[in-house]
Structure 1
Amino acid sequence: MPRSSLGLRIPKGMHDILPDELALQERAEASALDLFKAWAYQKVVTPTLEYGACIQPVEEEGDSFFKLFDRQGHVLVLRPELTTPIARMVSTRMRGTAFPLRLCYAADVFRYSKSHKQEFRQVGVELIGSASPAADAEVVALAIEALRKIGGMGFQINLGHMGIFKGIMAELGVPQEFQLHYQEKLARKDFVGIERLVKDYGFELKIQDVLLKLPHLHGKEDMLDQVLEWSRRPSLLEAVDALRQVYQYLKIFGVQDYVSLDLGILRGFSYYTGAVFEGYVPGVGFPVVEGGRYDSLYGEFGEDAPATGFAINLKAIIEQMTCSNAEIPEVLVYGSDVSKVIAEARKLRQPGKRVEMCLESFTQEQAVESANRKGIKEVVCAR
């Protein structure tokens, strides 16, 4: 029975991966994982499906998750990221493991989003059990090294701190309703919307000035002096000092030139508490690297531990790269006797060559024509 037109399509946001695209993805993924392991990170795998109670303890309207039900009526979620599933795993199956614990992964994640395809490949790391700014610097430096290994393309890392934003909002004393709207527009870099929102609330000019300047505060370390002119709250001073330390450690890692401080960064997941960062590459209008500190998440699973990490959107990066023909066969074996063709192909594969064999009796002319059509450079006759 023929398939319907729907049967010839795939769900919106899902994707097939063709041979050249998959070869590119696998090489990028392998280079990232090799790097992570060289930095003492161990690879783990979590389930594609998690209970909704793990991913989202409290139901929220308009979330970005793919949901379904099991036969007992429990809500299941296709993992939207790996940080929370790894927190569950560490707090249960790895409880008692010596900290700091360094874990890495490569997996597909699933999200409804305006900026992302619904299914995409991530590689990333989680560093669990250290509250030191050196831990934050390690994951930022590792993200930079991973981008260098994966693509060698131009990129920019923007680094901020959630504590600075919270401290400024507390100092200004703005209403919670305004803060939520402002935060949402700031996360989307909606500068026109921010200006309209600030004007509509009718704050005094001094408060308006700070709210309109904050989204544009980015640059090097001296930019933090501007923040200290607005407030000397202890929590804000602590956040500024922590960000300075991270930035100084990045200089020792030799990657500071890739990093710009940006106080307009607010990560999309609610669990971030400290230093946060994003990475951008040319041609992509959203961050391809997302990361930061999340010191409260493990407490929700009964294992109180500080943590930091990042994820790289491999799908977005690979779409900016050129596929190569590195995976096509190197040799085509042909002949009038298929048994001899099989034997010759086996012999040529032993040293590691990629060999395709003709499954029917071919003349030399037919074999050369087939090789040219497929891009195979060498033709061997089995005798």
Structure 2
Amino acid sequence: MLRTNLGQRIPEGMRDLLPEEITIQERLEAEILTLFRQWSYQKVSTPTLEFTACVQPDLEQDDSLYKFFDREGRILAMRPELTTPIARLVSTRMRGAALPLRLCYGADVYRNTSVRHREFRQVGVELVGSAQELADAEVIALAVEAIAGLGLKNYQFNLGHMGIFSGLMLEAGVDEGIQAKLEEALARKDMVGVESWVRQSGLPGRVQELLMRLPHFHGGEEILDEVLEWSARPAIREAVESLRRIYKYLSDFGIQENVSLDLGIMRGFSYYTGAVFEGYVAGMGFPVVEGGRYDTLYSDFGVPQPATGFAIHLGNLLEQFPLLPTESADVLVYGSDETKIIRECQTLRAKGKRVEMALGVVDNEVAHNMALQKRIPEVHCVE
């Protein structure tokens, strides 16, 4: 039966990957995971489908889940990210494991949003069980090295802290609803939305001015001293001093020059509580690396643990690398006796050769033309 027009298309936001694109993606992922292992991170895997009871609570205000019913009538969702499923895994099958845990992954995630890609590949790490700023610095340094290791030259990381924004909100007594809208607009870098909600907030003029400055407040360590002049509230001071310690560690790791402080960073998931960061590559108007500290998420699973981590949006990086011809077979085997052809192919494969077998009986001219078209360097005729 001939497929309809819809049957010949793919859902919006999904994409097919050609052999050349798969080759690049697999190479990049292998290089990054090798680096993760060098830093003592161990790979884990979680299901594509989770119960919404696991992933839903963080997305209630912006329901971007792909949902399904199982045969028992329970609601399932395709995972929108890996941090929460790994928190579930650690809190169940890995409960009682020696801390800190260093875990990594490479997997597809799915978000039913209006963005360009709704299915994309992520590789990332989770460092579970340490509240030290050194843990934050480690994952930031690892993220920088991962991007640098791919050969990308023009990249920049920005580092902020959720405690500065939340401290301002606490001091000003901002309504939770307005705070959520402000945080959402800041996370999207929607300056029109930020200004609109600030003007509607009824906050004192000084607080409104500070909130309007946040998205543009970035630079080196000197900006932290200015932040301390904003307020004496402990939450803000603690956030500033935490950032200062992390930034010093980044110098020890030798990557501080690649990281700027940016107090306007807000993460799109509500579980972030401390230092947050983003990584950008020239020519791409959205972060290719996102991460930060989330010290309350594990409490939702009954096993309170501090944690930090990041994800690299690998699928979005593919366009930064030229498409190259895929590796061809080493040898094309053809001839007039199909049984002998099969046996010769199996013998060569046992020796580690990549072998393409001509299907059916072909003559010399056809075999050589086939090898030329497929860039197979060697042609082997079986008599």
> Would the alpha carbon gap of residues 145 and 287 (structure 1) be closer, same or farther in structure 2, given more than 3 Å must change?
same
Q: Does 1:329 align with 2:310?
A: no
- Counterpart residue number, 1:13: 13
SS at match of 1:324: coil
SS at match of 1:137: helix
Deviation at 1:58, TM superposition (A): 8.0
- Counterpart residue number, 1:312: 312
Q: Is the 8 A contact 1:162 1:275 kept in 2?
A: yes
1:177-188 pair list within 5 angstroms: 177-188=177-188
SS at match of 1:237: helix
- Counterpart residue number, 1:47: 47
Q: Does 1:275 align with 2:275?
A: yes
SS at match of 1:319: helix
Deviation at 1:339, TM superposition (A): 4.1
Mapped partners of 1:327, 1:279: distance in 2: 32
TM-score, with length taken from structure 2: 0.92
TM-score, with length taken from structure 1: 0.92
> Would the alpha carbon gap of residues 218 and 115 (structure 1) be closer, same or farther in structure 2, given more than 3 Å must change?
farther
Deviation at 1:46, TM superposition (A): 1.0
Q: Does 1:72 align with 2:72?
A: yes
Deviation at 1:180, TM superposition (A): 2.7
> Would the alpha carbon gap of residues 327 and 59 (structure 1) be closer, same or farther in structure 2, given more than 3 Å must change?
closer
Q: Structure 2: which amino acid aligns with 1:378?
A: E
> Would the alpha carbon gap of residues 377 and 278 (structure 1) be closer, same or farther in structure 2, given more than 3 Å must change?
same
- Counterpart residue number, 1:361: 361
Report the more deviating stretch, 280-289 or 189-198.
189-198
Q: Is the 8 A contact 2:65 2:80 kept in 1?
A: yes
Q: Structure 2: which amino acid aligns with 1:223?
A: I
> Would the alpha carbon gap of residues 307 and 80 (structure 1) be closer, same or farther in structure 2, given more than 3 Å must change?
same
Q: Does 1:189 align with 2:199?
A: no
Mapped partners of 1:363, 1:27: distance in 2: 37
Mapped partners of 2:77, 2:120: distance in 1: 16
SS at match of 1:356: strand
> Would the alpha carbon gap of residues 5 and 374 (structure 1) be closer, same or farther in structure 2, given more than 3 Å must change?
same
Mapped partners of 1:224, 1:365: distance in 2: 73
> Would the alpha carbon gap of residues 65 and 301 (structure 1) be closer, same or farther in structure 2, given more than 3 Å must change?
same
- Counterpart residue number, 1:256: 256
Mapped partners of 1:121, 1:151: distance in 2: 19
Q: Which runs of 5+ in 2 are unaligned?
A: none
Moved runs in structure 1, 4+ residues, more than 6 A?
none
Q: Is the 8 A contact 2:124 2:310 kept in 1?
A: yes
1:139-158 pair list within 5 angstroms: 139-158=139-158
* Cα offsets for 1:341-382 (capped at 9, x unmatched): 444444443443322222233333222221222233333334
> Would the alpha carbon gap of residues 77 and 58 (structure 1) be closer, same or farther in structure 2, given more than 3 Å must change?
same
Q: Which runs of 5+ in 1 are unaligned?
A: none
Equivalenced residues, count: 383
Deviation at 1:205, TM superposition (A): 4.0
* Cα offsets for 1:117-137 (capped at 9, x unmatched): 111111111111000001011
SS at match of 2:320: coil
* Cα offsets for 1:201-220 (capped at 9, x unmatched): 56554333212211101111
> Would the alpha carbon gap of residues 261 and 59 (structure 1) be closer, same or farther in structure 2, given more than 3 Å must change?
closer
Mapped partners of 1:197, 1:89: distance in 2: 38
Mapped partners of 1:294, 1:223: distance in 2: 24
> Would the alpha carbon gap of residues 115 and 255 (structure 1) be closer, same or farther in structure 2, given more than 3 Å must change?
farther
* Cα offsets for 1:77-99 (capped at 9, x unmatched): 11111111111111111111111
